[in-house]
Structure 1
Amino acid sequence: MNLKHILMSLAAAASLAACHGGAENSGAALPFDMPQVARPVIPARSASVADFGGVGDGSTLSTEAFAKAIASLSEQGGGRVVVPAGVWYTGPIELKDNIELHLDRNAMIVFSDDKSLYPLVQITFEGLNTWRCQSPISATHAKNIAITGFGVIDGNGDAWRAVKRGKLTEGQWRSKVRSGGIVSDDGNTWYPSESFKFGATSGSDQNVSTWADSKEDFERMRDFLRPVLVAVHNCENVLIEGVTFQNSPCWHIHPAMCTNLIVNDITVRCPHYAQNGDGIDIESCKNVVLTGSRFDVGDDGICIKSGKDKAGRDRGIPCENIIVDDCIVFHGHGGFVVGSEMSGGVKNVMVSNCTFSGTDVGLRFKSTRGRGGVVENIRIENIAMNDIVQDALLFDLFYGGKSASEAVEEGTGEATDMVLRPVDETTPAFRNIHIRNVWCRGARRAMFFNGLPEMNVEHVTVENARIFARTGAEICESTDVLLRDVTVVPERGPALKLNNVKKFRAEEFSCPEGMECALQATGSRNRDILVSSKEITSANACLSAGAAGAVTIDE
């Protein structure tokens, strides 16, 4: 399904909603009402960066030329800023109302590695209000803006990022050390400068300082405050189409608190070792269409967020009405991801016709105690996966800020009966999530549902799935889960492991015949479990004393 099809479907949403309860998407009704998402209206006038003194020779700094071209068109009511063929070396670009930044064929924008060109600004990052270096491309409180064309936008990120030794070959590590910078005391991390090292080691919650209050405090760690390549915040009617975005200092594309966003036919890429090199992070946005795009990145590929902890709950802006269709994610920590900053809530999401090849996790839902927020009404269908490093499908309510691979390497343990904690506004909830038509060849684990004992993952359906993995599906601390027509083929261990689950149904569940232990159930809080499978019998079900009375096997 292409963008035109989606927009035509959305245009019909209003009339269809009355008759069918929602818009149409790829021939199927959406599970929520979705208004039309129109392309921004940009005036027909245009101006070339070259007309304002810019030179596309890869050396001449054209920051002023971009600013003048945008200002000239803005004074006339807006228009298209054309970037001709060539290599345009520049500092930050700020978009304004009714401005389209358009790259012609063979046009490349390369952002300068002179960090003094990127002043500290107040911004939202990782779900918190903080100070960061100004983004290479930014827009704030703007209407009708676009980034379009055929060229490449390069963030020159290697000049900004720290690198973990374990992500490089020995040759790459030696080359990085010889280039300058600072090596950490334990010898495992390369920092680009003392300023970066100070920020990384003086106390931070992932990438946001936990102690700095004033701008002067943040200036001490300036190099640590890497910018997002494209930051579009509090904007309305946004189009990003056709362009390749690469090598960001941090996340690549970060729309936050935006309404009516279309992202179509883009490519996002960076080295696999690029720390925090997310593809696109859609935060607290409403009415979003993302389609026909490709991601090959150093962190999560497509990520949905809505603020972090108390700051996100106080903001109270959910991410809602999101369509993701026809996208490919290659390397990345997750293919399609929700969280972990989801404290404002996420609802009404449709993901379809996507391919994940080589990601750490395929479908990744993550949060932790302290976040709060509700993730609900998610529908995912037609997902093909191959060579998934960890889990094909993951719900992790104990996320600790690391990739799934790093968590496994550190030996994250399993608890049979975890202690329940009080439920309050800081308790996150994931519910009403429906997944169907999933194919995965090659994963470490077929699925892992790891809910909180006091707030289970609940009301989740996985239907028509075929997963080949080293180990089977594990469902822990979950309520009202249905696996219907699911095949799990593990290389070792049980095909299905259950721990403290309630109202669980496995209908037409398939696994290899003759398994010594096809089903394993543990924990003392299990109840109402029904497993229907030709391959699972009372003879090859391994049930603990606390689980045996809760499990019924329909042989």
Structure 2
Amino acid sequence: MTEQQIAGSEPATGSMKEVRIPVFPDSAWVVTDFGAKGDGITDNTKAFQDAIEACSAGGGGTVVIPAGIWLTGPIRLRSKIRLHAEQGALVTFSRSFDDYPLIRSNYEGLDAVRAMPPIYGENLTDIAVTGGGVFDGSGDAWRCVKKHKMTERQWNERISQGGVVDGGGLWWPTREASEGRRATEALQANGLMDIALYEPYKVYLRPVLVGLTGCSGVLLDGPTFQNSGSWCLHPRLCEHVTIRRVTVRNPWHSVNGDGLDLDSCRYANIHDCFFDVGDDAICLKSGKNEQGRRTGVPTEYVTIRNCIVYHGHGGFTVGSEMSGGIRHIEVSDCMFIGTDNGLRFKSTRGRGGIVENIRISNVRMKDIEKSGIVFDMYYEIQDDYAAPAPVTEGTPCFRDITITDTCCLGARQGIFLRGLPERALQRLKFERVTVSSEEGLACIDAEDVLFRDVKIIARTGPAYREHNSRGIRFVDASEAAVR
């Protein structure tokens, strides 16, 4: 890739802001010049880091990883560094938990102690990971496995490796990992962030594969990122983020195996990417509950286009951690095939935050397991219809969202809209949307919703049902819309 191909900026679309792409000096440092060996056996942690430090000391540039299999521990990025994995390069990260120090971080919207990400950067300017290589996070060494998601043979192979099986049908790599959730949540609840207290539970504190916090000028262009211990790509509190032409892969059964979680970021452009993952594929977040509201940094001015998603809990997802707000988002020309949900908006009481000004167009979906389009404010709530609660700063708000020129061929539920009785979903608009599903359209606690030229074909269930909703309008709908 030439300097000209990565310099400049991504064009703005509509009302979106221009996204600046980092520019790097022409200088290059090759990891083999620092003693790295691509034999799959040699530990290259020091050689990789020495190359990065030399590049940084020289004013920045490109650190080149040639073709080969490169074993390494975590890579710490520096400002003005482009890490370039050439075609044929497989970077496989260590399976030894001792190679990953614990750091203070943020996970699922809350302050947390976690294992250092295999690719890690904080408060940096102008960084990139590029090329046609593959970065493998060795996440299978960290993850628990749910029995009901495995075949009998797969399950037996997993438990034959050792580890611990708990009473809930979960296999854990160690007993410390199986005990980690209860222990670390108790520490968090008491505001205890001393890293030493978390050391016994490191195996539970699975790292994301690419963790970038507080960075400006981020470019991910070309590589495959796969097999993460937890989420795969997690930019947080970053600005001017470009993610293009990347492939993100996790096993479909991987717990918390999200593809991309764009978290309290602004000015981002994601396009021409492929996702096949174990949880939400392309997800927008902005912190959780009171902590997220206190940080108060929305995810905003984001364009997502020309992406394909295969497995995933949601093709494009907002939430459920959205307490800092999410706004000014454009999604277009994407395809979701075989995901659990297609377009997924989720939140719950306690989150607070406002999600608004989102435009989605030209999305094609096929063989969706659950809902083609879902707005659900009952995330992790079991009730179908809850009694109204007082409106507080913890009451989430979803409004002014438009979905146009979109179709879904095959889903259990076509469109499912469920707000809260104390705060309905507000001012949603659907235009030229076609859905073929088992059940059609449900509107629960929604108001001022427009369906224009919307066709919903329900094969077995009701085409339309409504509860406690107001201002639901159908305009120029075909006769099939209520069939």
Q: How does 1:281-430 map to 2 (within 5 A)?
A: 281-400=261-380, 414-415=384-385, 418-430=386-398
Check whether the contact 2:9–2:21 (CA below 8 A) recurs between aligned residues: no
SS of the residue aligned with 1:71?
helix
2:157 aligned partner: 175
2:244 aligned partner: 264
Check whether the contact 1:184–1:190 (CA below 8 A) recurs between aligned residues: yes
Note the C-alpha offset of 1:212: 7.0
Corresponding position: 1:148 with 2:134: no
**Alignment deviations for residues 521-543 of structure 1 (CA, whole Å, 9 cap, x no partner):** xxxxxxxxxxxx7x67xxxxxxx
Corresponding position: 1:472 with 2:472: no
Query: How far, CA to CA, are the matches of 1:474 and 1:87 in structure 2?
Result: 51
Note the C-alpha offset of 1:41: 1.2
Note the C-alpha offset of 1:215: 2.1
**Alignment deviations for residues 7-50 of structure 1 (CA, whole Å, 9 cap, x no partner):** 99965xxxxxxxxxxx5x3xxxx2x3x33212201111001111
**Alignment deviations for residues 492-515 of structure 1 (CA, whole Å, 9 cap, x no partner):** 122111111111101133454xxx
Query: How far, CA to CA, are the matches of 2:137 and 2:153 in structure 1?
Result: 24
Check whether the contact 1:212–1:218 (CA below 8 A) recurs between aligned residues: no
Equivalent in 185, 193, 203 of residue 174 of structure 2? 193
**Cα distance change of structure 1 residues 511 and 119 upon mapping to structure 2, 3 Å threshold:** farther
Corresponding position: 1:438 with 2:411: no
For residue 444 of structure 1, what is the amino acid of its counterpart?
Answer: R
1:131 aligned partner: 113
Corresponding position: 1:499 with 2:480: no
Equivalent in 200, 203, 211 of residue 220 of structure 1? 200
Corresponding position: 1:249 with 2:212: no
Query: How far, CA to CA, are the matches of 1:510 and 1:490 in structure 2?
Result: 14
Query: How far, CA to CA, are the matches of 1:511 and 1:59 in structure 2?
Result: 65
SS of the residue aligned with 1:105?
coil
Query: How far, CA to CA, are the matches of 1:279 and 1:449 in structure 2?
Result: 25
Corresponding position: 1:277 with 2:257: yes
SS of the residue aligned with 2:349?
coil
Note the C-alpha offset of 1:432: 0.3
1:51 aligned partner: 33
Query: How far, CA to CA, are the matches of 2:308 and 2:339 in structure 1?
Result: 10
Note the C-alpha offset of 1:185: 2.4
**Alignment deviations for residues 71-124 of structure 1 (CA, whole Å, 9 cap, x no partner):** 001111111000000000000001011000001110010001001000100011
Note the C-alpha offset of 1:204: 3.7
Query: How far, CA to CA, are the matches of 2:412 and 2:462 in structure 1?
Result: 13
For residue 171 of structure 2, what is the amino acid of its counterpart?
Answer: W
Give the share of equivalent positions with the same residue, in percent: 43
Note the C-alpha offset of 1:318: 0.3
Check whether the contact 1:199–1:209 (CA below 8 A) recurs between aligned residues: no
Query: How far, CA to CA, are the matches of 1:70 and 1:493 in structure 2?
Result: 59
Note the C-alpha offset of 1:145: 0.4
Q: How does 1:82-97 map to 2 (within 5 A)?
A: 82-97=64-79
Query: How far, CA to CA, are the matches of 1:482 and 1:210 in structure 2?
Result: 43
Check whether the contact 1:365–1:396 (CA below 8 A) recurs between aligned residues: yes
Equivalent in 38, 59, 62 of residue 44 of structure 2? 62
**Alignment deviations for residues 355-404 of structure 1 (CA, whole Å, 9 cap, x no partner):** 00010000000010000000000000000000100000011101019xxx
Query: How far, CA to CA, are the matches of 1:447 and 1:280 in structure 2?
Result: 24
Corresponding position: 1:239 with 2:219: yes
Query: How far, CA to CA, are the matches of 1:510 and 1:199 in structure 2?
Result: 54
Check whether the contact 1:476–1:498 (CA below 8 A) recurs between aligned residues: yes
Query: How far, CA to CA, are the matches of 1:498 and 1:436 in structure 2?
Result: 22
For residue 184 of structure 1, what is the amino acid of its counterpart?
Answer: D
SS of the residue aligned with 1:359?
coil
SS of the residue aligned with 1:173?
helix
Check whether the contact 2:376–2:419 (CA below 8 A) recurs between aligned residues: yes
Corresponding position: 1:42 with 2:24: yes
Check whether the contact 1:252–1:279 (CA below 8 A) recurs between aligned residues: yes
Query: How far, CA to CA, are the matches of 2:463 and 2:384 in structure 1?
Result: 17
**Alignment deviations for residues 276-330 of structure 1 (CA, whole Å, 9 cap, x no partner):** 0000000010100000000000000000000011110000100000000000010
Query: How far, CA to CA, are the matches of 2:10 and 2:146 in structure 1?
Result: 44
SS of the residue aligned with 1:389?
coil
SS of the residue aligned with 1:443?
coil
What CA RMSD, in Å, does the superposition of the two structures yield over aligned residues? 1.8
Query: How far, CA to CA, are the matches of 2:175 and 2:195 in structure 1?
Result: 18
Check whether the contact 2:244–2:273 (CA below 8 A) recurs between aligned residues: yes
TM-score (structure 1 length as normaliser): 0.84
SS of the residue aligned with 1:132?
strand
Query: How far, CA to CA, are the matches of 2:244 and 2:37 in structure 1?
Result: 29
Query: How far, CA to CA, are the matches of 1:215 and 1:83 in structure 2?
Result: 33
Note the C-alpha offset of 1:130: 1.1
Bigger radius of gyration: 1
SS of the residue aligned with 1:195?
helix
SS of the residue aligned with 1:388?
coil
SS of the residue aligned with 2:379?
coil
For CA contacts below 8 A with separation 6 or more, give which structure has more relative contact order: 2
**Cα distance change of structure 1 residues 115 and 511 upon mapping to structure 2, 3 Å threshold:** farther
SS of the residue aligned with 1:380?
strand
Query: How far, CA to CA, are the matches of 1:237 and 1:310 in structure 2?
Result: 29
SS of the residue aligned with 1:369?
coil
Check whether the contact 2:441–2:463 (CA below 8 A) recurs between aligned residues: yes
Query: How far, CA to CA, are the matches of 1:480 and 1:74 in structure 2?
Result: 55
Query: How far, CA to CA, are the matches of 1:131 and 1:241 in structure 2?
Result: 29
Gaps of 5+ in 1: 12-22, 402-411, 513-532, 537-555
SS of the residue aligned with 1:161?
coil
Check whether the contact 1:465–1:486 (CA below 8 A) recurs between aligned residues: yes
Query: How far, CA to CA, are the matches of 1:318 and 1:303 in structure 2?
Result: 14
SS of the residue aligned with 2:313?
strand
For these two proteins, the number of residue pairs brought into alignment is 478
Query: How far, CA to CA, are the matches of 1:109 and 1:248 in structure 2?
Result: 13
Check whether the contact 2:8–2:20 (CA below 8 A) recurs between aligned residues: no
Query: How far, CA to CA, are the matches of 1:149 and 1:387 in structure 2?
Result: 33
SS of the residue aligned with 2:120?
strand
1:81 aligned partner: 63
Query: How far, CA to CA, are the matches of 2:138 and 2:8 in structure 1?
Result: 38
